[in-house]
Chain A
Amino acid sequence: MQNKLTGLLLTLSKFKRKDTQLQNKWFRYVTRKKSSLFLTILLGLSLALLIIVAWNDDVSRLNEFKERIAPYKREIYYFIPTGFALITVGAYLTKQGKKLLFPIATVIILISGISLGASTFSKQNDHKWGVEIDGPSDLPGIAEISPQVSARETWLTYMRLEPYIGGKIIVIDERINPSYLNAFARANVRVDSGHDSTFVPFSQMSAMEIVFEGPIYKNRKLLLFGEGENYSFYSTADRDYVVANK
């Protein structure tokens, strides 16, 4: 009787082990094969949540979104859904055994996409940050035609300072940002805590020639006084001065 019971228990434990193995196999199969589908559904749900939240939004962001994409209404409302439908049918039929339909649908969409891209070229590529073949390649040249005011004024002015103060020592105080003098004018900047940039030595400057003058953003100016091996930097509300130390 005991032997029979032991045998039964053994069989039961074997069955259990096999069942666990099978469950593990299933788990592995589901996590590997179906996980991408599950995760895609999850991504889709997050997109759906975004649309729902935007729909219920008081600020009507969804309307703003519609207005923004309005110039490309035809492409977005027709091409994208058609593309979705075509590729979905292709993918579904491929799973049914007609393996070439997914590649064919992909090629059709790619060719249509390229044609559509070419047809929207004028709309999508016509702006001031254009990529030209014969545009300037030197830094001052690029800054000169930049749509950015800071580049056209401040940075270009510092770049034009380079022939005068490039490689030479310029003393500034801790309150002055040394980046432009270092990067664009390529000067050797020294921060001196004893130097006061607000105390402009006008009496000393009156005997000097203005060697260079350039604009700085917000109607300010940068002036270079005199020539020498060492310079000091001064700053007021409407002027910056680089003055040669004699």
Chain B
Amino acid sequence: MIRELLFSYLLIFGGFGTVSRSKVIQQSPLLAMVILLPIGVVLFTFSCALVYVFGINYPLIGLSLMIIISLYELYKTKQDNDLSRINQITLLSSLGITTALLLLIRILVSPVLTFDSYKIIISGKSFGSSIFSFESPELASFPFMVTNFQAGTELFNFSYTVYLPAVTGFLSMIGAIIIISNLISPSRKHSLIFGAIVLMTILAFGSFTYMLRMQFGYLNSHLLMAGYYSLGFATCLRGNDKSEKSRFLHLSALLIGSIAFIRLEGLLLMTLLIISFVSMNNISRKNLVKFCAIALVAPGLWYLRLAIAGASGSTIISPRNTILMLLMAITPLILSWWRQSLKVVDYLPNLTIIGLVCIFCLLLLTREQAIESSLIFLANTVGTGYWGAFWWTFGPLTIVGLSLGPRIKHEIVWLTALGGGLLLILLLGAIRTDPYRIGWGDSGNRMLVHIAPLAVLYIAVKVHACFGKSDDIADEQMPNLTCEETK
């Protein structure tokens, strides 16, 4: 346990430099405390990926690179005179929060290791060993972030880690709640109440729902994805605030880019977030290059290296699919780059959903497997997947909220993240070699965890919109079609 704690402290320090430089600490110390570990983990993952891609098979070099980046960022922050006492307090608080959570989760939940969990350990332990090879099918069968956690355990001489990824995912989720709470109201009191209610709702359902509760002890990357997907999406929303744009761009890019490393279908989910990001933000070309460099270079190089090695471990990752997914991820950024295609970017979320629905309907009509997988997925969602009352409750709420509920700002990007995420799960079930299967352990059922926190947040934001003066923004007001105007 002490070794796992030491590992987490080093990762927190890894995130400290970047978060300090982004000035989040001055803006929202609570948010900074919570996201230090997730940001550190992202930097650790990116550093290690780059190190392995260039043929350096030493996890220690990746960890050292993360520390060097953090120290450089801290040096730059100090040069700008932005390193103050509040930074130190934030760092210490973050260490305290992580320690408390690691201990608490360890007491409450025992580890759950399935077939995939053991394979993740096997794959992770290959990094830095004599058997490491990019040609290994296991490298293309299991996501890099969680396997890299296991590689990190070798540095601290313990056999595996399950609670550290879980705590990282949970903190990312809390980070998303804090960002959205801060966005919905300028009043600190309202934000606090909103955040507390959302967290309490998640915890209340989590205590009764096996699929949510077990994520804290389950060695896989679903809680990581749920947390980072929500956090990445929340930073997209916050990035829309013009005053925050430059500060948050780097963090947004880091978090959105990290999605690619969390699951094998991560490149697709990352594309959804990139679409959300570019459709909400008018980014200058310079910032677009920065965003692309931070978010796409490390994942791009990693997946290209896998494609070049011909690694093919699942239906999703094969050289051809990898190239296609990378092209999909970069397309929204290219469209934002060209001034002529800027108008298309505005409608990109709509086009994405329409495209996904059309493909899904086409597959339903042409592939038996699409029907089989979809029905099994539905059965798991409502009964056999150990979701308890979660989707019985949030299913109707989300559907009605989406169609008839009060309008909220950027409704369409919420729909892209939620509906797009759901459609991706259904599509993956339709194109797999084997259809989804009944039971909680089915991958489609497990992937549903990724969008669960966003569903809760979406409902909370919808409910909050009812208390506002008007949920519409000025430029969305219905145009006045009076005679005076047409004259």
Q: Interface on A for B, CB 8 Å cutoff?
A: 18-19, 22, 25-26, 29, 31-33, 35-37, 39-46, 49-50, 53-54, 57, 59, 61-62, 64-65, 68-69, 71-72, 75-76, 79-80, 83-84, 87-88, 91-92, 94-95, 99-100, 102-103, 106, 109-110, 112-114, 116-118, 120-121, 124-125, 127, 129, 131-139, 142-143, 146, 148, 150-151, 155, 178-180, 182-184, 186, 188-191
| SS of B interface (majority) | helix
**Contact (Cβ within 8 A) B109 A83:** no
Question: Of B131, B138, B201, which is within 8 A of A110 by CB?
Answer: B201
On chain A, the residues within 8 Å of B375 by CB distance are: 50, 54, 61-62, 64-65
For A180, the closest partner residue in chain B by CB is B122
**Contact (Cβ within 8 A) B401 A189:** no
**Contact (Cβ within 8 A) A83 B159:** no
**Contact (Cβ within 8 A) A155 B118:** yes
On chain A, the residues within 8 Å of B478 by CB distance are: 29, 33
17 contacts between A and B (CB under 8 A): A22-B485, A29-B476, A44-B403, A53-B371, A61-B375, A64-B375, A75-B389, A83-B393, A87-B396, A106-B463, A117-B208, A117-B389, A120-B388, A182-B126, A183-B122, A189-B130, A191-B130
On chain A, the residues within 8 Å of B459 by CB distance are: 106
The segment out of B67-75, B312-320, B356-364 that lies at the interface is B356-364
On chain A, the residues within 8 Å of B406 by CB distance are: 91, 94-95, 99, 102
A113 to B394, CA, bound (A): 9
**Contact (Cβ within 8 A) A131 B217:** yes
On chain A, the residues within 8 Å of B479 by CB distance are: 22, 25-26, 29
**Contact (Cβ within 8 A) B384 A68:** yes
Q: Shortest distance in angstroms between B294's beta carbon and chain A's nearest beta carbon?
A: 30
**Contact (Cβ within 8 A) B407 A33:** yes
B89 on the interface (CB 8 Å rule)?
A: no
A45 to B486, CA, bound (A): 37
A36 to B138, CA, bound (A): 40
B299 on the interface (CB 8 Å rule)?
A: no
On chain B, the residues within 8 Å of A94 by CB distance are: 405-406, 466
Q: Which of B366-408 contact A (CB under 8 A)?
A: 368, 371-372, 374-375, 378-379, 382-384, 386-390, 392-397, 399-407
Chain B interface residue count, CB cutoff 8 Å, equals 91
**Contact (Cβ within 8 A) A182 B125:** yes
The segment out of B37-45, B57-65, B171-179, B346-354 that lies at the interface is B346-354
Q: From known contacts A33-B478, A75-B392, infer whether A129 and B440 are also in contact, taking CB-CB under 8 Å.
A: yes
For B393, the closest partner residue in chain A by CB is A113
How many pairs, one residue from A and one from B, have CB atoms within 8 Å of each other in the complex?
Answer: 255
Q: Shortest distance in angstroms between A164's beta carbon and chain B's nearest beta carbon?
A: 16
For A38, the closest partner residue in chain B by CB is B350
Q: From known contacts A46-B364, A109-B397, infer whether A133 and B403 are also in contact, taking CB-CB under 8 Å.
A: no
A196 to B357, CA, bound (A): 54
The segment out of B14-22, B181-189, B411-419 that lies at the interface is B411-419
Question: Of B118, B214, B396, B476, which is within 8 A of A151 by CB?
Answer: B118
B341 on the interface (CB 8 Å rule)?
A: no
Q: From known contacts A94-B466, A113-B392, A129-B214, infer whether A36 and B402 are also in contact, taking CB-CB under 8 Å.
A: yes
On chain B, the residues within 8 Å of A57 by CB distance are: 371
**Contact (Cβ within 8 A) A183 B125:** yes
Q: Interface on B for A, CB 8 Å cutoff?
A: 106-115, 118, 121-122, 124-126, 129-131, 138, 159-160, 201, 204-205, 208-210, 213-214, 216-217, 346-347, 350, 353-354, 357, 360-361, 364-365, 368, 371-372, 374-375, 378-379, 382-384, 386-390, 392-397, 399-407, 411-412, 415, 419, 423, 438, 440-441, 459, 462-463, 466-467, 476, 478-479, 481, 485-486
Q: From known contacts A50-B375, A150-B115, infer whether A127 and B467 are also in contact, taking CB-CB under 8 Å.
A: no
**Contact (Cβ within 8 A) A131 B210:** yes
**Contact (Cβ within 8 A) B118 A39:** no
Question: Of B110, B126, B467, which is within 8 A of A179 by CB?
Answer: B126
For B391, the closest partner residue in chain A by CB is A80
**Contact (Cβ within 8 A) B485 A182:** no
